Structure formats: structure tokens, C-alpha cells
Amino acid sequence: MTTSASPAASPRSSPAASRVERAARWLVDQHLGRRPFAGFPADCAPADVGEAYAVQDAFVAMKARACGRPVGWKIALSNPAMQRFVGLDEPVAGRILQRQLVGAPARARAADYGRLLVEFEIAVELGEDLPPRAGGYSRSRVAEAVAAVRPAFELADDRGADYRTLNAHGLQLVADNAWNEGAVLGERRTDWRRLELAELDGFVAIDGQQVGAGSGRDLMGHPLDALAWLASQVSRRGLTMRAGEVAILGSLVTSKFPRPGEQLDFALEGFDRITLQVD
């Protein structure tokens, strides 16, 4: 499911904008060349979180030429311990692109990634826009915008990152679109209000052997609290989450690094099991 990015963008004028452009192009080159994860060159490293998101926006715009327009959102590092591990103090928001969003069951080729990692998520579909809003969004307000809930895999590529050094590269995770390379969506339930989302249990198996379990409460206390954080973060950046878009809200289970030939199953309570075959 991974797809190459295509570098092309118009020149920018200010030094900061020029640095953002160089950083985005450097990321595109890294992905196209299948190079191992490495820190930014000093001349284009983001200075702060705001600049890192500016790089992400530029990188996503370049990648969209090959992968289709942005149609969804993701949350990474929803756990405070993981945030501290990479030197950040809040989760990371990212985008999902059209040609990298598919339905289950799905297949992925390990050889198409530097190092494929898979996460196990609750996804929501939006039925209305969530535009910039003073004060951000509450759980109750975002709940009004949810049209459906689905189980999901996230496919990501850490390009062989050395996790012992990630505390020096937190801003790079932001800029690199939190490593997203797509998502696989399962059964769509519009009657999701009949479910207690925080109490949903999820179970992960590889080749039939259970390898992890979690629940909706692992997503920032409640999946809708995770969605409220995401909508508020997007709002602070002056952006809108659009009706019809999908948001995946973080993994219920620790990331897995599947090998060719393995089948991953994710059973989320109240939904049909979804599968991903890795070739």
C-alpha cells in the first residue's frame, strides 16, 4: 500500500518558508530512496512544533501528487510515556491519503516499506465539518459529528528507526507525518451509539496466536476524547476536519512488525474481525 511521493512545489520567499520547503523535499527524497530513518540536515531541521507541522503540510502536499488528496487524519503517541520517550509533550496529528486508504481484508508487501509496522485502531467517519473553533472541541461536540465507527489497521513505515535515539527526533516524527503509509478499514457501524466505546475490547493475533489486547479506554481515556484532542489540535492550526473524512484514533495494542507470510487479525468487540496478509 505504500506509494512514492513526487517532489514539486513553488519557491517560497522567507528564510523559514525556504527551510520548510527544503525539509519537505528532503523527506520526499528519503522516502523515494528508501533510506533509513535519519535526522534532518542542520540547515532544514524544524525549529519548533509549529514549523514541524508546516513541514508536514508541505510534505503531505508533495506526497499527494502520487498518493491522492488527504481524506483522513491520525493520532500518534497518544500515550504520555511515549510522548516523553520522543521528547514531546502531546500527541502528534497526521494525514491519511486517498490511495492509501482501503477496505479489509487487505494485503501489504513488506518489501514496499523500509520496515512495516502495523497498529490496531478505532476509526471514526465524520458526518459534518469540524472547522476552527475558539476554545477547541469537547467530547460531546465531536460526538455529534461522528457518522460511523469502524475497526482499522494503520500501516506505517519507521524506515528502520533506532528507537534508542528517537528522543532527539520528536519534531521529525511530526514533520514526517507520523510515519503514516495508510489505513485499512473494517465494518462500518452507524449505530455506534449503542456501543460503549471506552469499554470495547480489541484482540490482535498473528497467524492465529494472540499477541496483544487493549480497550477503547486506552485511547486517551475514551476514543471520543482522542477525537476531541485531534479536532482541537487541527482547529488551532486553522484547519478543518471535513465531513466524509476518517480519523484513526491511536492503537489499542503495541505496534507489531510483521514478517512476510504472516496474517494479522484484529477483532474489535461489536465488529467483524479484519485481516491483513503480509506478503
pLDDT mean across residues, the chain? 93
Q: Is the pLDDT of residue 7 over 50?
A: no
Q: Is the pLDDT of residue 10 over 50?
A: no
As a whole number of Å, the CA-based R_g of the chain is 18
Q: Is the pLDDT of residue 139 over 50?
A: yes
Please report which confidence band the pLDDT of residue 229 belongs to, taking 50, 70 and 90 as the band edges. very high
Q: Is the pLDDT of residue 93 over 80?
A: yes
Q: Is the pLDDT of residue 9 over 80?
A: no
As a whole number of angstroms, the distance between CA 277 and CA 207 comes to: 10
Q: Is the pLDDT of residue 6 over 80?
A: no
Q: Is the pLDDT of residue 215 over 50?
A: yes
pLDDT tens, residue by residue, 166-188: 888 899 999 999 999 999 999 99
Pick the CATH number of 69-278 from 3.30.9.10, 3.40.50.1220, 3.10.20.30, 3.90.850.10: 3.90.850.10
As a whole number of angstroms, the distance between CA 77 and CA 250 comes to: 8
What average pLDDT does this structure show over 131-145?
97
Residue 168's pLDDT is 86
Strand ranges for 2-161 from DSSP E: 70-76, 92-97, 101-103, 106-108, 116-126, 146-157
What average pLDDT does this structure show over 22-34?
94
Strand ranges for the chain from DSSP E: 70-76, 92-97, 101-103, 106-108, 116-126, 146-157, 180-185, 201-206, 209-215, 246-251, 263-268, 274-278
